[in-house]
Amino acid sequence: MSGAQMKFLPVATAETAEYWAGCRRHELLIQRCADCATYQFYPRLMCTACTGRSLEWVRASGHGRVRSFTIVRRAVAEAYAAEVPYVVALIELDEGPTMMSNVVGCSAEQVRMDMPVEVVFEDWTGDVTLPKFRPRAAGTAAR
């Protein structure tokens, strides 16, 4: 994607490298606690529910719903200006955790609260792939 270098690129840490490696393979990885089965996002050293340290990476269904959204009319930085108007949303994954993302694959005006969405991946640079979400027909089976 042209201009991606000027965007706010995520820089992986030791804690998040696995997540970003998953994104490069177009897999959305989240953590699950081996002790209490709680799912969590973003990646952490410990389980937020039981404080256990036995966390496993699992591939999420990639399905979720729009918990809230906004249509950005004035870009945060020049590198995002070409995409205005774009949708920033909070996506509640079917597994439970919420993540921020963009809703793509439809016009901004078509996004609705509680709209079912599914993950898509946008390759920004050789190292950085971002998970985004697009509308999904209700009842579509998980991949």
Partner 1 sequence: MGETLRGQAAIVGAADTEVGTVPHMGASQLCIDAILRALDDAGIGKEAVDGLVTCNSMAEPYMYHAEAMAEYLQIFPRYCVSVGAGGGTTFTALHQAASAIASGICHTVVIAMADSLRSGLTRERAMAMQSSSGHPQFESPYGAPVPAYYALIARAHMHEFGTTAEQFAAVAVSMRKHAARNPAAQMRKPISVEDVLGSRLIADPLHLLDCSLVSDGGAAVVLTSAERARDFRQPPVYLLGAGEGHGHEHISQARCLTTSAAADAGRRAYAMAGVGPGDIDLAQLYDCFTPVVVIELEDLGFCAKGEGGRFVAAGSIEPGGRLPVNTHGGLLSHCHPGNPGSMFALTEAVLQLRGQAGERQLAKAELALVHGQGGIMSSHCTVILGRECTR
Pick from 110, 113, 127, 140 the residue near partner 1 by CB under 8 A.
Answer: 113
38 binds partner 1 (CB under 8 A): no
**Cβ proximity to partner 1, 8 vs 141, nearer residue:** 8
Encoded one letter per residue, x for contact with partner 1 by CB under 8 A and - for no contact, window 41-80 reads xx------------------------xxxxxxxxxxx--x
39 contributes a contact to partner 1 by CB under 8 A: no
Sheet holding 29-33, edge to edge: 39-40, 29-33, 55-59
Which one of the spans 28-36, 52-60, 100-108, 134-142 is the region binding partner 1 (CB under 8 A)? Answer: 100-108
- 12: which 2 tokens? 């992986």
Please select the residue that binds partner 1; options are 26, 46, 61, 90, rule is CB under 8 A.
90
User: Rg of the chain's alpha carbons, rounded to an integer?
Assistant: 16
DSSP per residue, the chain: -TTGGGS------TTTHHHHHHHHTT--EEEEETTT--EESS--SS-TTT----EEEEE---EEEEEEEEEESS-SSGGGGGG-SEEEEEEEETTS-EEEEEE-SS-GGG--TT-EEEEEEEE-SSS-EEEEEEE--TTPPP-
Q: Please say which residue, 8 or 45, places its beta carbon nearer to partner 1.
A: 8
State yes or no: residue 1 binds partner 1 (CB under 8 A): no
CB of 65 to partner 1, least distance (A): 12
Q: Which residues bind partner 1 (CB under 8 A)?
A: 7-13, 16, 41-42, 67-77, 80, 83, 86, 88-90, 98-102, 113, 130
